[in-house]
Amino acid sequence: MENYEILVIGGGPAAITIAKILGKKKMVGVIRPEDHSMIYCAMPYAIEGIVGMEKTLKSDSLVTDAGAKLIRDKVSSVDFEKKTVLTEGGKAIGYEKLVIATGSDPFLPPIEGNDYKGVHVFKSEHDLKQMNEAVKGKKLEKAVVVGAGAIGVELALALQQCGLETHIVDMADSVLPNLLDPDMAGPAEEQLAKAGLTLHLGQKTEKIIGDGKAEKVALDNGEVIDLTGENSSYGIVAFSVGMRAGVEIFRETKLEIGRTGIVIDNKMRTNIPDVYAMGDCAQFVSGITGEISEGKLATNAVPMARMFAKNILGAGREYKGFFNGAATRVGDVFVGGTGLSEQAARGKYNVVTGVAELTTTFPIMPEAKPVKMKMVADADTMRVLGAQVVSGSPVADKIDTITLAIQNELTVNDLTEFSYSAQPYQSFFPANNLIVACAEEILSKTGE
Ligand SMILES: Cc1cc2nc3c(=O)[nH]c(=O)nc-3n(C[C@H](O)[C@H](O)[C@H](O)COP(=O)(O)OP(=O)(O)OC[C@H]3O[C@@H](n4cnc5c(N)ncnc54)[C@H](O)[C@@H]3O)c2cc1C
């Protein structure tokens, strides 16, 4: 029987990170079933044709050149007593330490018609190929994307760009509800309308109507979206309504599983000795509230895996939790959010917000574009809880700066003393800075 010091179930960012750090230092095995690991973030752009389909596929050499053994198989069960995994291919593989990095699967709501032709989810290489074939080959004319989160919005824009009349449906009253408060979502919604998309916000998808294929989508307000066209008898319904931890093979075992995934401590240890979990399959808390939090992002999976691997090599690092900084692009507008939105913070904190609007460069420069930031803080402690940015230029640097402030429990007062740089092409005049301006507005509201 093959035996590994570290055996990883998974092939996503968490597994690859472990292979890269430990592959040459330990006997590492990585088991995953699919032909290719994916650059998921680029999938909508492959549909749109901005990057080739092949560019979304990661090379196996990321794992094998790092010195780890890649085992192309699917784990069917784990015997935690005998420290052995069994695979669908009939193998038994032993481990000293097991890492569960089985990721997550897209949630398909249990509604009528969810198995009809034309209904898709969007995560795997298979999903991408199916969607691409439907868009490019079948001459479908209309699409509904259910879910106005970042993936849903990116996919909807891609479908519209491919010539399909595209609708977005979401129960929330504004788009990108996990990133932006409603008062910050306007520019993104305007961009979607400008691109020709139709928004159905504050509405739930009730069922898909058709004779085995997606002909219509019925919403709970009685509205029916017709997906048939002049030359097509059905259309696309793409669900992008969240991910569920990939934990099915562990349901009947002693492994503790919570509401959002496998329960772990701050060193990624599960309740079973020598068994660790990380990434999308794991449940952890917000680094701000300490409450169980959604955090199914590659930017959470990678740090968890890096921390685990460094600890195996002797470090004593502890994971603090999810802060969930994330960003996307909607047409000409770049948006991002980190920490808690005002909506998420209300009810938990004595919330105070500050808003600032400047330009991305010196306003006299020809490239100057508007940029707006909203900061969320706790008026009792003045701790920074979150921020959102909407801009004509990329926002990830601003989001990451605020994430760092939140991670280090900085206060609004600290941010008024933020020492920034300024240059005509890259920032507003030295006279002002977005972060400082938000912080000052909060202080003026709280009378400090
Ligand atoms: C379209 C899209 C866009 C995204 N964009 C972003 C973004 O911009 N920024 C960001 O931070 N995050 C983004 N994400 C989320 C990000 O991709 C995930 O958070 C990340 O992939 C999680 O990594 P992971 O290693 O935990 O799991 P996954 O990447 O889900 O990988 C899980 C792996 O486990 C394997 N596996 C599962 N069960 C078994 C089994 N029984 N046996 C063997 N192998 C198994 C799977 O086949 C897979 O290889 C996006 C996701 C999607 C779908």
Residue-wise pLDDT tens digits, 370-391: 999 999 999 999 999 999 999 9
CA 280 to ligand 1 center in whole angstroms = 7
Say what the pLDDT of residue 55 is: 94
Average pLDDT value for residue range 31-41: 95
CA nearest neighbour of 323 among 297, 358, 286: 286
Residues with CB under 6 A from ligand 1: 9-15, 31-34, 37, 40-41, 43, 74-75, 101-104, 122-123, 151, 246, 249, 279-280, 296-299, 301
Provide, for the chain, the percentages of residues in helix, strand and coil under a 3-state DSSP scheme, each rounded to the nearest 5. Answer: 25, 30, 45
Supply the residue whose CA is at minimum distance from atom 26 of ligand 1: 279
First to last CA, the chain: 67
Q: Ligand 1, from 9, 40, 268, 307: best to mutate by most atoms within 8 Å of Cβ? A: 40
Please state, in angstroms and rounded to a whole number, the distance separating the CA atoms of residues 250 and 256: 9
Mean pLDDT of 222-240: 96
Q: Is the pLDDT of residue 52 over 80?
A: yes
Q: Would you state the pLDDT for residue 447?
A: 81
Using CA atoms, how far apart are residues 281 and 275, in angstroms rounded to an integer?
13
The percentage of residues in the chain with a pLDDT greater than 90, rounded to a whole number, is 98
Per residue in 110-139, pLDDT (tens digit) is: 999 999 999 999 999 999 999 999 998 878
- Report the mean per-residue pLDDT for the chain: 97
User: How high is the pLDDT of residue 97?
Assistant: 98
Pocket probe mutation, ligand 1, options 297, 302, 399, max atoms within 8 Å of Cβ: 297
Domains of the chain: 2-39+53-104+243-312 (3.50.50.60), 119-239 (3.50.50.60), 333-446 (3.30.390.30)
Atom of ligand 1 nearest to the CA of 327: 8
pLDDT at residue 136, rounded to an integer = 87
At 248 the three-state DSSP class reads helix
**pLDDT, position 139:** 83
Q: What is the pLDDT of residue 145?
A: 98
CA gap 421, 14 in Å, rounded: 35
Q: Whose CA is closest to atom 15 on ligand 1? A: 297
Q: Average pLDDT in the 23-35 region?
A: 97
The yes-or-no verdict on residue 448 having pLDDT over 90 is no
The number of residues in the chain equals: 448
- Identify the band that residue 407 occupies on the pLDDT scale cut at 50, 70 and 90: very high
299 Cβ neighbours under 8 A, 6+ residues apart: 325, 326
β-sheet with 262-263: strand ranges across: 262-263, 282-285, 292-293
Ligand 1, atom 46: closest residue by C-alpha: 10
- Name which residue sits closest to atom 35 of ligand 1, judged by CA: 10
Closest to 317 (Cα-Cα) out of 92, 113, 21 = 21
Which atom of ligand 1 lies nearest, measured to the CA of 249?
A: 41
Return the best residue to mutate from 125, 280, 403 for the ligand 1 pocket (most ligand atoms within 8 A of CB).
Answer: 280
169-217 pLDDT tens trace? 999 999 999 999 999 999 999 999 999 999 999 999 999 999 999 999 9
Pocket test for ligand 1, best of 41, 278, 403 (most atoms within 8 A of CB): 41
